[in-house]
A and B are shown apart, each in its own frame.
Chain A
Amino acid sequence: MRVSRTSRTVLGTITGIILATIYLPLIVVLINSFSTSKSLTWPPPGFTFAWWGKAFQSAGALGAILTSVQVAVVATIVSLVLGTLISLALQRYTFFGRDTVSLLVILPIALPGIITGIALNNAFRTILGIQLSILTVIIAHVTFCIVTVFNNVIARLRRMGTSLEEASADLGGGLWTTFRLVTFPQLRSALLAGGLLAFALSFDEIIVTTFTAGTGVTTLPIWILNNLFRPNQAPIVNVIAVVLVLVSIIPIYVAQRIAGSDVVQK
Chain B
Amino acid sequence: MQQEPIAVPAIRLTGLTKSFGSVNAVDGVDLDIAEGEFFSMLGPSGSGKTTVLRLIAGFEQPTAGTVQLRGRDVTGTAPFDRDVNTVFQDYALFPHMTVLENVAYGLRVRGVKKAERIARAQESLDAVRLSSYGARKPSELSGGQRQRVALARATVVKPKVLLLDEPLGALDLKLREQMQVELKELQRSLGITFIFVTHDQEEALTLSDRIAVFNNGKVVQLGTPTEIYERPTTSFVASFVGTSNIFDETLSKSLLGRGGTNSVRPERIALRGTPTAATSSAPGTIAELIYVGTSTRIVVDLDAGKRIIVLEQNSASDDATAPSDRRGERVHAEWASAAITPLDLP
Contact = CB atoms under 8 A, between A and B. Distances in A.
Contacts of A164: 92, 94
Interface stretch (A26-34, A40-48, A173-181, A245-253): A173-181
B139 A166 contact: no
State which size class the interface on A falls in: 10 to 19
A265 B138 contact: yes
B80 A185 contact: no
B95 A163 contact: no
Nearest to A173: B109
A16 interface: no
B105 A168 contact: yes
| Max chain B C-beta neighbours (<10 A), residue from A167, A174, A265, A266 | A167
Interface string B333-346: 00000000000000
Interface in A185-205: 185-186
Contacts of B58: 169
Given A265-B138, A265-B139, A167 B80 contact: no
B110 interface: yes
A173 B105 CA distance: 9
Contact of A170 (B79, B94, B95, B96): B79
B92 A181 contact: no
B85 interface: yes
A266 B89 CA distance: 12
A177 B79 contact: no
Contacts of A182: 94
A18 interface: no
A177 B84 CA distance: 19
A170 B57 contact: yes
B90 interface: yes
Contacts of B138: 265
Interface in B88-107: 88, 90, 92-96, 105-106
Contacts of B137: 265
Given A167-B86, A167-B88, A266 B106 contact: no
Interface string B55-86: 00111000000000000000000111000111
Contact of B90 (A163, A169, A177): A163
Nearest to A165: B92
B160 interface: no
A101 B257 CA distance: 69
B153 interface: yes
A92 to B, nearest CB: 12
Contacts of A181: 94, 105, 108-109
Contacts of A171: 80, 85, 105-106, 109, 153-154, 157
A172 interface: yes
| Chain A contact surface mostly | helix
A175 to B, nearest CB: 9
Interface string A213-244: 00000000000000000000000000000000
A265 to B, nearest CB: 4
A264 interface: yes
A266 B90 contact: yes
Contact of A166 (B88, B95, B105, B153): B88
Contacts of B139: 265
A153 B151 CA distance: 31
Given A163-B88, A166-B59, A167-B86, A173 B95 contact: no
Contacts of A169: 58-59, 78-80
Contacts of B93: 167
B194 to A, nearest CB: 15
A181 B97 CA distance: 10
A170 B94 CA distance: 13
Contact of B96 (A163, A172, A173, A186): A186
B72 to A, nearest CB: 17
Contacts of B90: 163, 266
Given A171-B85, A172-B80, A265-B139, A166 B109 contact: no
A185 B95 CA distance: 9
Contacts of B96: 185-186, 265
B80 A173 contact: yes
A174 B110 CA distance: 10
A169 to B, nearest CB: 4
Residue among A177, A181, A185 with max Cβ neighbours from chain B (10 Å): A181
A93 to B, nearest CB: 13
Nearest to B79: A169
B81 to A, nearest CB: 8
Which of B86, B137, B157 counts the most chain A CB atoms within 10 A? B86
Given A168-B109, A171-B157, 8 more contacts: A166-B88, A169-B58, A169-B80, A170-B84, A181-B105, A181-B108, A186-B96, A266-B95
8 contacts: A163-B92, A166-B57, A170-B154, A173-B80, A177-B109, A181-B108, A181-B109, A185-B96
Interface of A: 163-164, 166-174, 177, 181-182, 185-186, 264-266
7 nearest CB pairs, A to B: A171-B106, A265-B95, A167-B92, A163-B92, A169-B79, A173-B109, A185-B96
